[in-house]
Amino acid sequence: MTTRLTLRCHSGQNTWSLPYPTASLPLNAWYCHCSICRHVSGAPFVAHLGQLPISLCESTASPPATSRAYNTSSKGRRYFCSKCGTYLATSTPVGVKPEQWFACVGALELGSLKAQEVYKFSEHYDLASTVDGGFARWLDDGLPKWVAWGPEEFHFPTEPLTPARPTSGAKEALNGACHCGGVTLELLQP
Ligand SMILES: [Zn+2]
Ligand SMILES: [Zn+2]
């Protein structure tokens, strides 16, 4: 049996119907706090689900023609709406093993399904990328929090590891940028 889940971007230009084996539900889901997830989304972390063989995606649920793919690293290829920019999913780039694919929880349309039937959160990843634990410090959900991708070393820094970096003059600034660096901003203290 197959359960079809739908990803939808904000503008509605991209809907992506995904066939999952019903027996695989609820899918494993996790929170990623890495810098790439934060900069491609503008959110403090991204929730992903369903790390599955890429064959499921390529054979029966190819990316919509109106999506745009972007290699965010040598290990990840991410898919966005070309109109509204919604981040929809990630796959391994062509030729990278093991071939895997996963979707963004925030873009899911659950329809008549309940969230707990579709996914179950298990872990937080890539806290080291935030320097000081980032938003995970406020997520007291009892789930394991890992410094990197994969259960390598349990470590959750509670204090900033490096001081904030003022960039100009005596006033401290907050710097922001999208992942490719095409857009940057600097917020100065009033
Ligand atoms: Zn869109
Ligand atoms: Zn990430």
Tens-place pLDDT, residues 101-157: 889 999 999 999 999 999 999 999 888 888 888 898 888 899 988 888 765 555 555
Which one of the ligands is nearest to 84 CA? 1
Mean pLDDT, to the nearest integer, of 154-180? 64
Question: Where residue 165 falls among pLDDT bands split at 50, 70, 90?
Answer: low
Nearest to 18 by CA among 94, 99, 114, 118: 118
Nearest to 11 by CA among 107, 110, 115, 102: 107
- Give the residue extent of every domain in the chain: 2-162
CA of 18 to the centre of ligand 1 (A): 17
| DSSP string of 79-114, one letter each residue | EEETTT--EEEEEPPTT-SS-EEEEEGGGEE-TTS-
Chain centre distance of CA 115: 18
Which one of the ligands is nearest to 124 CA? 2
CA of 35 to the centre of ligand 2 (A): 7
Roughly how many angstroms between the first and final C-alpha of the chain, as a whole number? 59
Taking the model in full, what pTM does it have? 0.83
Which one of the ligands is nearest to 38 CA? 2
Percent above pLDDT 70 for the chain? 83
Q: Does the 2-162 domain belong in CATH 3.30.300.30? A: no
Angle in degrees, CA 155, 101, 2, rounded to 5 = 120
Q: Which residues surround ligand 2, an ion (CB under 5 A)?
A: 32, 34, 37
Question: Where residue 100 falls among pLDDT bands split at 50, 70, 90?
Answer: confident
CA of 190 to the centre of ligand 2 (A): 32
CA of 171 to the centre of ligand 2 (A): 31
In this predicted structure, the answer to whether residue 60 has a pLDDT above a threshold of 70 is no
**What does DSSP assign to residue 142?**
-
Cα–Cα distances (Å) from 148 to 102, 127, 131, 144, 179, in that order, read 18, 7, 12, 12, 19
CA of 67 to the centre of ligand 1 (A): 8
pLDDT confidence of residue 108: 95
Quote the tokens at residue 98: 């093991």
